[in-house]
Amino acid sequence: MLTARSSRPTLAIVAAATLLGIVAGTVIAFVVGGTRGTVAAPAAPAATSTTLPEEFFTVVLASIPAGAADSQARAERRAADLRARGIEAGLLVSSAYGSLKPGYVVVYSGRFPSEGAAQRHLEQLVANGLPPGPNPYVREVSHHTK
């Protein structure tokens, strides 16, 4: 029988509570924070002009007209689908760049210092089975009108 003077039940309760806290914390971290697979990258927020270089070349994977109420959601779904396949994908708003036709949410892959590097990335994407979608192409992205 346990008595108030016995220290073993107290240690057992503390140990059980600690273990329960560790397990609960781990479960919460996975549910709230998600998990990182070996192929899929975590979802990235839409890129803005402050998070991207002033000028770069990229592979445009989709251009979704920005006028519809679900434009951003459609672009985010496309980027998420690509990331789930292990393809780096981000979003930008074409109106923020003078070199792009305004009015689109652009799904892109990669930021390269040269057109040739972006072209090699495109060729690698195609060789690795880029999923169906509009024809991807290389494009310079710049705040300046080209």
Give residue-wise pLDDT tens across range 45-90: 444 444 677 899 999 999 999 988 999 999 999 999 999 999 999 9
For the chain, give the longest Cα–Cα distance: 85
Q: φ, ψ for residue 64 (rounded to 5)? A: -110, 125
Residue 8, H or E segment: helix 8-33
Residue 64, H or E segment: strand 55-65
Q: Note the pLDDT tens digit of each residue in 51-61.
A: 677 899 999 99
